[in-house]
Amino acid sequence: MNDYTTILREHNLKATPQRLEMTNALFMNGHVTIERLYELMLKKFSSISLATIYKNINLMLEASFIEEVKLPNAKSVYELTKETHSHLLCSKCDKVQDIVLNLTDVTRRASNAANFNISKTDLVLSGLCENCS
Amino acid sequence: MNDYTTILREHNLKATPQRLEMTNALFMNGHVTIERLYELMLKKFSSISLATIYKNINLMLEASFIEEVKLPNAKSVYELTKETHSHLLCSKCDKVQDIVLNLTDVTRRASNAANFNISKTDLVLSGLCENCS
DNA sequence: AACTTAAAGGATAATTATTATCTTTTAATA
DNA sequence: TATTAAAAGATAATAATTATCCTTTAAGTT
Ligand SMILES: [Mn+2]
Ligand SMILES: [Mn+2]
Ligand SMILES: [Zn+2]
Ligand SMILES: [Zn+2]
């Protein structure tokens, strides 16, 4: 019984082999699209249904066990929930990278300027990665 | 001949009544989803095809005449291109607001930390707007 | 270890979102 | 006014996502 068995059960999700492999695929591959995840899953479960992927993605999203990252000009990617972070997207090689940034100053300024109570920030910085520039 | 006639032509797009009304709808309504834009257009062009909306949205995106804003847990909205800005999204009433924020400090920090050449930032701050909090 | 059962998986139909195709209409230019 | 490439509208095709239904199974219970 690995880590994710417990976490899945804590969210009232049965720890099925398919789900454990999904979490493993996400852990190993980082940010993945639905179709990439389906490909990865097919390697281990040759007859898994795409519907199973979608159903589990949605259940795991509801449980905040995973998160969706919406990217400009690209399909959404999914990842295991971790520390709050921002994303770097390379517009040449499409690589997505995590970056932990302190955004308190920005959110404070926004909050003050617009009388807004900010609870979440989604930031994607696009450009060229180390390799591509 | 209003402003947008010229701008459309500068992008090699014919200034059709449908396109002028699309730009007008975007100008008047700010951030709109595809389906909302379709509803708005139907008021003026009762037999406009949804395909026309999609085709024009895509052409206008290519021409950078409009921009898509991807929002967490919501459908994308579209708006006329204006000064670079960030967005505030109210998680209660779903209102989307523009906010001009200086992000040079954040992008500089990210750029240095990850050796990344940043050319664009997409920031959505979610929370409660003035009315809802 | 076998029994029970709600939950989950797989197959596939249905729905929704978006794009492609084709014919008719029209904006722009001469 | 005539010409023509582009755009509109109708609708078919495709892609993405969800729903349904039947079978299998994880996780408790005896
Ligand atoms: Mn991430
Ligand atoms: Mn905006
Ligand atoms: Zn790159
Ligand atoms: Zn609000």
Candidates B71, B77, B94, B123: best to mutate against A (most CBs of A within 10 A) is: B123
Do A76 and A35 lie in a common domain?
yes
For A118, the closest chain B residue by CA position comes to B127
DSSP-based three-state secondary structure for A130: coil
What pLDDT is stored for residue A3 in this prediction?
Answer: 80
pLDDT digits (tens, 9 = 90+) for B113-124: 999 999 999 999
Do A114 and B99 meet the contact criterion of CB atoms below 8 Å apart?
Answer: yes
Output the CA A126–ligand 3 centroid distance in Å: 10
Do B82 and B119 meet the contact criterion of CB atoms below 8 Å apart?
Answer: no
Do A116 and A66 lie in a common domain?
no
Instruction: State which residues form the domain around B105.
Output: 86-127
What pLDDT is stored for residue A1 in this prediction?
Answer: 57
Instruction: Centre a 10 Å sphere on the Cβ of residue B33 and count the other Cβ atoms it contains.
Output: 14
Do B71 and B99 lie in a common domain?
no
Do A64 and A90 lie in a common domain?
no
Does residue B133 sit within a domain? no
Q: CA A78, CA A94: separation in Å to the nearest integer?
A: 15
Do B39 and B90 lie in a common domain?
no
Q: Where are the beta strands (DSSP E) in B4-133?
A: 66-69, 77-80, 86-90, 96-99, 117-128
For B105, the closest chain A residue by CA position comes to A106
CATH of the domain at A120: 3.30.1490.190
pLDDT digits (tens, 9 = 90+) for A23-72: 999 999 999 999 999 999 999 999 999 999 999 999 999 999 999 999 99
CATH of the domain at A21: 1.10.10.10
Do B9 and B37 lie in a common domain?
yes
Mean per-residue pLDDT, B81-101: 97
Output the CA B130–ligand 4 centroid distance in Å: 7
Structure tokens belonging to residue B49: 């095809």
Query: Nearest by CB to B99, which of A68, A110, A128?
Result: A110
Q: CA A18, CA A20: separation in Å to the nearest integer?
A: 5
Does residue B110 sit within a domain? yes
Domain count, chain A: 2
**Nearest to B88, CA basis, from A69, A113, A66:** A113
Backbone angles phi, psi at B65, to 5 degrees: -85, -30
| Minimal CA separation from B43 to chain A, in Å | 30
Output the CA B54–ligand 2 centroid distance in Å: 20
Chain A residues in contact with B114 by the CB 8 A cut-off are 88, 97, 99, 129-130
